[in-house]
């Protein structure tokens, strides 16, 4: 069985919402199409930036179907994680049926501490329960939110036991030494969550990046991946990343995407997030206008 495995610059796209906090599918697909046409190799739908864990399963499925109806599923992975196994299995099966290339799966984050054996058993069951819908599965390492950090030993065990299904990891820990160690696992694709890491993609063996701030300047990230030694490109990409992430990240990304779309309502985040204040919006735009441009 050969699965499609996304590579390169991947934007973790936001989910625009309407006044009733339901997905605005028109704005969502418009932004996704723009991102793919302006430097992204693929998209991560319904990840942390997409506020997946603040949406109902029904809303998530509506976004998933909309994405694959409007765009190429081969260029998208989707967040299918939930703290319970049954929902994760359901969303992973649905991802396959919609045509997504891959599912990005959080660990079962509520009960802690967890052993590697317990996590292995959980993911083994996920693989077994989705054997008839064999989509590629990527581990989602985000210990700041889940309180769980995948060990290198567990990643190796899962990759060795299920080489046709466990394809790699998105690492949102920010620890690039950890990410580089994971990338040394054979046939295990690792995507740091910071596009600045693209400057060392070849050296450290990354498959690319999956980042929220790629939504702002995907062309810059694509150029950096193609020319990893270009310090001007690196400085430009770093400035965008540092600037946007100095504000509340999801509201900032949603505001900037909504501003580009010309649709202010698309900036609305789901509570408990709050929208940026007018002062924050002005400050963010002013700082981004100072982004150094590559020669």
Segments forming the whole domain that contains residue 124: 8-227
Q: Is 48 helix (H, G, I), strand (E, B) or coil?
A: coil
Q: Please report whether residue 67 resides in a domain.
A: yes
**pLDDT recorded at residue 294:** 63
Q: How confident is the model at residue 291 (pLDDT cuts 50, 70, 90)?
A: confident
Q: Please report whether residue 252 resides in a domain.
A: no
Asked whether 12 and 44 are in contact (CB, 8 A), the reply is: yes
Residue 240 scores a pLDDT above 60: yes
Q: Please report whether residue 256 resides in a domain.
A: no
Q: Please report whether residue 287 resides in a domain.
A: no
Q: What value does the mean pLDDT of the chain take?
A: 96
- Containing 187, the helix (H) or strand (E) segment is none
Summarize pLDDT for 30-81 with one digit per residue, the tens: 999 999 999 999 999 999 999 999 999 999 999 999 999 999 999 999 999 9
pLDDT mean over 229-241:
97
Q: Please report whether residue 277 resides in a domain.
A: no
Q: How many CB atoms lie within 10 A of CB 34?
A: 17
pTM: 0.96
Summarize pLDDT for 189-216 with one digit per residue, the tens: 999 999 999 999 999 999 999 999 999 9
Q: Please report whether residue 142 resides in a domain.
A: yes
pLDDT mean over 129-147:
97
Q: Please report whether residue 60 resides in a domain.
A: yes
Asked whether 273 and 21 are in contact (CB, 8 A), the reply is: no
Q: How confident is the model at residue 4 (pLDDT cuts 50, 70, 90)?
A: confident
Residue 180 scores a pLDDT above 80: yes
**pLDDT recorded at residue 249:** 98
Q: How many CB atoms lie within 10 A of CB 136?
A: 23
Longest dimension (CA), the chain: 53
- Report phi then psi at 105, rounded to 5: -125, 120
Q: How confident is the model at residue 2 (pLDDT cuts 50, 70, 90)?
A: low
CATH of the domain at 166: 3.20.20.70
Q: Please report whether residue 51 resides in a domain.
A: yes
Residue 6 scores a pLDDT above 70: yes
Q: DSSP string spanning 71-109?
A: S-GGGEEEE---SSHHHHHHHHHHHHHHT-SEEEE----
Which candidate, 93, 184, 100, places its Cα nearest to that of 131? 93
Name the burial class of residue 279, with classes exposed (0-12), middle (13-18) and buried (19+) by CB atoms within 10 angstroms of its CB.
exposed
Please tell me the distance from the alpha carbon of residue 258 to that of residue 16, in angstroms, as a whole number: 8
Domain count, the chain: 1
Which candidate, 123, 115, 112, places its Cα nearest to that of 158? 123
């Amino acid at each position: 069985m050969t699965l499609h495995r996304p590579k390169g610059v991947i934007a973790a796209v936001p989910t625009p919402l309407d006044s009733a906090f339901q997905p605005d599918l028109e704005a969502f697909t418009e932004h996704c199409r723009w991102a793919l046409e302006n430097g992204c190799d693929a998209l991560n739908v319904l990840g942390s930036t997409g506020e997946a864990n603040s949406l109902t399963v029904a809303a998530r499925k509506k976004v998933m179907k909309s994405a694959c109806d409007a765009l190429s599923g081969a260029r998208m992975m989707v967040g299918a994680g939930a703290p319970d196994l049954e929902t994760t299995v359901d969303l992973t099966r649905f991802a396959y049926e919609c045509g997504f290339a891959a599912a990005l799966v959080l660990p079962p984050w509520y009960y802690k501490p967890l052993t590697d054996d317990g996590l292995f058993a959980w993911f083994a069951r996920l693989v077994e329960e989705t054997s008839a819908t064999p989509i590629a599965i990527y581990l989602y390492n985000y210990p700041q939110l889940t309180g769980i950090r995948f060990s290198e030993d567990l990643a190796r065990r899962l990759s060795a036991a299920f080489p046709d299904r466990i394809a790699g990891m998105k690492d949102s820990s920010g620890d690039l030494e950890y990410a580089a160690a994971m990338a040394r696992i054979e046939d295990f694709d690792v995507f740091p969550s910071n596009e600045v890491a693209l400057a060392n993609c070849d050296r450290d063996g990354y498959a690319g990046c999956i980042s929220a701030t790629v939504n702002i300047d995907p062309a810059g990230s694509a150029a950096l991946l193609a020319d990893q030694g270009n310090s001007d490109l690196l400085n430009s990409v770093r400035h965008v990343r540092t600037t946007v992430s100095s504000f509340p990240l999801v509201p900032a990304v949603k505001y900037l995407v909504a501003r580009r779309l010309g649709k202010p309502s698309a900036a609305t985040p789901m509570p408990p997030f709050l929208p940026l204040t007018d002062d924050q919006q002005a400050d963010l735009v002013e700082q981004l206008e100072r982004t150094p441009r590559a020669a």
